[in-house]
Amino acid sequence: MNYLDEYKRWCESPEFDEETKKELLEIKENETEIEDRFYKELEFGTAGLRGIIGAGTNRMNKYTVGKATQGLANYILEQGTQDKGVAISYDSRIMSKEFALQTALIFCANGIRAYLFENLRPVPELSFAVRELKCTAGVMITASHNPPKYNGYKVYWEDGSQIVSPRDTEIINKVRNVKDFKEIKSINKEDAISKGLLNIVGTEMDEKYIKILKEHILNPEIMKEQGKKLKVIYTPLHGTGNTIAEKLLKELGMENVYVVPEQKDPDGNFPTVDYPNPEDPKAFKIALELAKKVDADVVLATDPDADRLGIYTKDSKTGEYMNYTGNMSALLIAEYRISQMKEKGILPSNGMFITTIVSSELAKAIAKYYGLECIEVLTGFKNIGAVMRKAEENQDKKYVFGFEESYGCLIGDYARDKDGIAAVMALCEAACYYASKGKTLWDAMIDIYEKYGYYKEAQVSIVREGVQGAQEIKDMMTKMRETDIESIGKYKVLVFKDVEKDLVKDMKTGEISKTGLPKSNVLYYELEDNSWCCIRPSGTEPKIKLYMGIKGNTEKEAEEKLAELKEAMLEIVKK
**Alpha carbon distances (Å) from 286 to 76, 265, 404:** 45, 14, 27
User: Are both 344 and 429 inside the same structural domain?
Assistant: yes
DSSP one-letter string for 471-485: HHHHHHHHHHHHS--
H helices of 252-284, in order, are: none
The sheet carrying 298-302 orders its strands as 256-259, 231-235, 298-302, 309-314, 321-323
d(CA 535, CA 547): 6
Q: Which CATH number goes with the domain that contains 545?
A: 3.30.310.50
Strands 198-201 and 150-157: unpaired
d(CA 426, CA 403): 13
User: Are both 87 and 231 inside the same structural domain?
Assistant: no
d(CA 138, CA 129): 9
What's the domain count of the chain?
3
Three-state SS for 326-363 is HHHHHHHHHHHHHHHHHHCCCCCCCEEEEEECCCCCHH
The amino acid at 93:
R
Q: What pTM value is reported for the model?
A: 0.94
The amino acid at 504:
V
Q: Which CATH number goes with the domain that contains 196?
A: 3.40.120.10
The amino acid at 346:
I
User: Are both 176 and 248 inside the same structural domain?
Assistant: no
Q: Is 536 inside any structural domain? A: yes
User: Are both 101 and 191 inside the same structural domain?
Assistant: yes
Task: Specify the pLDDT at position 431.
Answer: 98
Q: Is 211 inside any structural domain? A: no
List all residues 6 or more positions away from 395 whose beta carbon is below 8 Å from its beta carbon. Answer: none
User: Are both 178 and 231 inside the same structural domain?
Assistant: no
Answer for the pair 534, 358: CB distance below 8 angstroms, yes or no: yes
User: Are both 195 and 244 inside the same structural domain?
Assistant: no
Q: Is 25 inside any structural domain? A: no
User: Are both 417 and 500 inside the same structural domain?
Assistant: no
d(CA 5, CA 28): 13
Answer for the pair 290, 260: CB distance below 8 angstroms, yes or no: yes
Q: Which helix (H) or strand (E) holds 432?
A: helix 420-436
Report helix, strand or coil for 297.
coil
User: Are both 354 and 319 inside the same structural domain?
Assistant: yes
User: Are both 169 and 266 inside the same structural domain?
Assistant: no
Q: Is 44 inside any structural domain? A: yes
Q: Is 6 inside any structural domain? A: no
d(CA 549, CA 360): 7
CB atoms under 10 Å from CB of 274, counted, come to: 11
Whether 144 sits among the annotated catalytic residues: the reply is yes
**Alpha carbon distances (Å) from 454 to 187, 311, 328, 548, 559:** 58, 19, 11, 14, 9
**pLDDT, tens digit, 9 for 90 and up, residues 190-232:** 999 999 999 999 999 999 999 999 999 999 999 999 999 999 9
User: Are both 397 and 346 inside the same structural domain?
Assistant: yes
CB atoms under 10 Å from CB of 57, counted, come to: 20
Q: Is 8 inside any structural domain? A: no
Q: Is 22 inside any structural domain? A: no
Domain boundary among 441, 473, 508: 441
Domain boundary among 201, 230, 253: 201
Domain boundary among 146, 167, 201: 201
Answer for the pair 174, 77: CB distance below 8 angstroms, yes or no: no
Q: Is 7 inside any structural domain? A: no
Residues of the chain predicted below pLDDT 70: 1, 44-48
Task: Specify the pLDDT at position 1.
Answer: 63
What single DSSP character describes residue 323? E
Task: Determine the structural domain holding residue 546 and report its residue range.
Answer: 454-574
d(CA 34, CA 36): 6
User: Are both 483 and 533 inside the same structural domain?
Assistant: yes
Nearest to 550 by CA among 572, 575, 568, 573: 568
Task: Specify the pLDDT at position 36.
Answer: 94
Answer for the pair 106, 55: CB distance below 8 angstroms, yes or no: no
Q: Among residues 89, 92, 127, 144, which one is catalytic?
A: 144
Task: Specify the pLDDT at position 365.
Answer: 97
User: Are both 494 and 426 inside the same structural domain?
Assistant: no
